[in-house]
Amino acid sequence: MRRNVLYKYFTFGAALILISFIILGIGMSAQVYNYSVSEKEKSLEFSALRISAMTTEINSQFSSIRPQTFRVLISSTLANSEMSAVLCDSSGRIVVTSENVPPPITMNVPPELVEKVIADKYFSGRNSLGSLYKNGHFTVGVPYYDYLGKPAGCVLVTSTISHMRGLLFAIVKIFLVCALVVFLIMLVAAFFGTHRIIRPIKNITTAAREFAHGDFSVRVPVSGNDELGELSRSFNTMADSIEKTEDLRRTFVANVSHELRSPMTSIGGFVDGILDGTIPQESEKKYLEIVSSEVKRLSRLVSNMLEITRLQSEDLSQNATNYDFCNQVRRVIMGFESKINEKNIKINLTLPSDELELCANEDAIFQVIYNLLENALKFSNPDTEMTIDVSVKSGKLWFSIKNSGNDIPSDELPYIFDRFHKGDKSRGKDKTSLGLGLYIVKTIVNQHGGDCGAESKNGITEFHFTLPI
């Protein structure tokens, strides 16, 4: 079965929490046990030293002690009833014990233990004192002295370990209950926290699947300003770009289909009419001229489409050179001399007094000026003026061309540089326009880091562009 990311993160988090609690429990148990042993050792040592001091004092004053009296004294000296005491001589023979030591008490304490206590003057650890106790007791031993100040034996104070184990088990039980409650709370928090982290990723995955099925309108909800929120915003930005590109693609395909269908329909109709005799023989030349015009328009469409593809795929800045922009403008105007004279257009050209050097792709910028001048002449009324202005504004080259003619509607101006947009729809001239000339202008100018725009009011239409210099 496939395990999703939520399951993996949740399992990892739960395992990490569990391991942390286990380590914490082991460490806490060890600390509690060591503290309990340390406190017990201090208590046993305190009682052992008191009994040793009392025994040494009695030995320095009396030659013999009644055992029963001594048992009572030892028992009263012990810190609590869990403790028991054994007094033995230097050979290990038990002299007297506290009242709570179980009979029989006729056996001896191991001599090596007595020797160690006397030699080291202190002993602590688990010991059964030979066979006196069935189970090991925690034992603290100190020597006691005779009236001459010499070691006469040792005092061994013991305590059962069971009560320390009981204390440890009680603490562990409380810890386990608390740990279980905290563990469950942390599991719930980890589940919802992990789910919150995974939800944006699942939303993006779902949106990506919708994209794969062609639905480009889906968007991912954005929540928060963290990395996941930034990822969602980036995805939505990408989705907007893809949707826009897809809309452009559909529009482009529809426009190309329309542009190709119209001339091909005309060509096919006229050719069929000539072949089947519908068109009279004396009119064949006229319709063949129309067919030739449509073929030329198709050729221009293909050429422009290839030019756009080349411009979009080529880095024009790689072929940039330094040249005189003003001289380039003059050459373009001279190329339209016959059309200018044909419409009797007066050109008002304003250029800087000095040479204006531009670093750009010369052929591409020539195409920009050519397209703008051709467009202006196409829609200029006869016997009018055209103003061409070249200057430097805010550190950028400024080129402007104004012509007199019908206005471009304000609602069309934002789309005037779009692919296949035809201004002649509104101005009613030159039905052979492909609507690609201004789009080529925008593409070239943008690739050079510039901008272009258009204004139209009161019978004056202006196209302009800027380029960095």
Give the C-alpha distances (Å, rounded to integers) separating 114 from 54, 135, 331. 19, 19, 123
Residue 29 lies inside a defined structural domain of this protein: yes
Domain end residue (candidates: 257, 283, 312)? 312
pLDDT computed for residue 66 by the predictor: 64
pTM of this structure: 0.45
Cβ within 8 Å of residue 406, ≥6 positions away: 379, 426, 427, 428, 459
- For the chain, what is the domain count? 3
**Does residue 13 share a domain with residue 144?**
yes
Residue 413 lies inside a defined structural domain of this protein: yes
Across the range 120-141, mean pLDDT stands at: 82
**Cα 276 from chain centroid?**
70
**Does residue 158 share a domain with residue 18?**
yes
Q: Who wins on pLDDT, 218 or 387?
A: 387
**Does residue 330 share a domain with residue 296?**
no
For the domain that residue 36 is a member of, what is the CATH number?
A: 3.30.450.20
Nearest to 118 by CA among 93, 155, 148: 155
Model confidence pLDDT, tens digit, residues 240-273: 888 777 776 776 677 667 667 767 777 888 888 8
**Does residue 336 share a domain with residue 307?**
no
Residue 173 lies inside a defined structural domain of this protein: no
**Does residue 121 share a domain with residue 13?**
yes
**Does residue 233 share a domain with residue 111?**
no
pLDDT computed for residue 428 by the predictor: 42
pLDDT computed for residue 399 by the predictor: 96
Residue 198 lies inside a defined structural domain of this protein: no
Give the C-alpha distances (Å, rounded to integers) separating 133 from 74, 122, 126, 285, 305. 19, 21, 11, 134, 106
For the domain that residue 366 is a member of, what is the CATH number?
A: 3.30.565.10
**Does residue 331 share a domain with residue 417?**
yes
pLDDT averaged over every residue in the chain = 81
**Does residue 323 share a domain with residue 278?**
no
DSSP letter at 108 equals B
Q: Who wins on pLDDT, 18 or 4?
A: 18
Identify the domain containing residue 329 by its residue range. Answer: 317-468
Q: Looking at the predicted structure, is the pLDDT value of residue 426 above 50?
A: no
**Does residue 120 share a domain with residue 82?**
yes
**Does residue 138 share a domain with residue 50?**
yes
**Does residue 232 share a domain with residue 359?**
no
Across the range 323-347, mean pLDDT stands at: 92
Q: Looking at the predicted structure, is the pLDDT value of residue 17 above 60?
A: yes
